Chains A and B, each alone.
Chain A
Amino acid sequence: MNAEWRWDFAIEILPKMLLATLNTIMAAGIGYAIAAIVGLLFLLGQRTRFKIVNIINREIVEFIRSTPLLIQLFFVYFVLPQFGITLSAWVCGMITIGLHFGTYLSEVYRGALEGVSRTQWEACRALNFTTFYTYRKIVLPQAFPIAIPGMGNYLVGIFKDTPLLSTIGVAELFHAATAVGGYHYRYLEPYTIVGLIFLILSVPAAMGIRKLERSVNKAQGKAKH
């Protein structure tokens, strides 16, 4: 087997890979949207007054966070059909990613809410604002900038974990690379192209998030040292 990089082969497979990249981006986007909502649900579970809900919520979050996404994917994909629920690989993948990263995002939300100073709440109470008004006008505008870096990092994180979806047969970028590689029995070009595509997409995204973080901080009057 020769180690030479074959440009003709790389160019031949490139359109296929770029098409699959769209699937990857879509998977990351949908997964993130689900995770953002699931995160809110976990946050609610954490902040309710019922102690028992708090405890159950915390244990679920802890369990999901300390087990591998890969096995969670297998679990959802293979176990649900045993209970008569047959979902496509896409749906299973999106649900699992949503649940897994939802637990992380709930922590980001919690940290952001706790980052708002207590005195802000007290001032709102003193001014007789309703809870809803307090959240909308005072707390959330201050919590959001704190949440931005975490939320952005997990967007990139989800993007980088989408290759796992290929293990249950979702036709995304990595799946396409493995298929092409297996067909031609050449893995050098497909896997290298996958790596490059990930690099091209995620490094600028991470830089953009850092920039956004700085500008939001500036707008809030909290210049970072």
Chain B
Amino acid sequence: MRAIAAPAHQKRIPGEGGTWVFLFGDMLVFGAFFVTFLVERSKAPDVFDAARSTLHIGIGVINTLVLLTSSLCIVLTLNAVRAAQRPLATRAAAAAMAFGLLFIALKVYEYISLGAAGHGPGANDFYLYYFILTGLHLFHVCLGLGALSFVLTQTRRPELSDTRTALVEGAACFWHLVDLLWIFLFALLYLVS
């Protein structure tokens, strides 16, 4: 296994270098969506603000905390792997996945609830963007859960090669990306629009 407990001053790239091309690409694509959302908002700010107030902000806050905690669980997973605490790493990875599933469950409840109140994607432009942006993010959550299931399997291995370690770190970074994108989405959709 790679010497993960590297000296603090040593510079290193988490995961494979190529992973970061993908991660930055994703961040820029979402950045373009954020800009588009605000441009559309500028055409009808009062409509967007009124629609924003119909969202379940409590669920938005809870989902933010859920993803932050899930991210912390993955930090714990990596630290436990590095400290050769495999059972702890397995439990932390499983907890991270459980929080990911909770996020999906809350999101689905929110979608159903909004739809039942007549606030579906066709109601106005705010809801259209809300469903597109959160739907794309939800797709990332599902991909991230796939990445985490890979991490979970690796925590059961007695030792990881350099390549596997880099893959685990890359999967962890993708999960943090899911968290990161939600932070901007939460601010834009639930608080700012």
Asked whether A and B interact, the reply is no
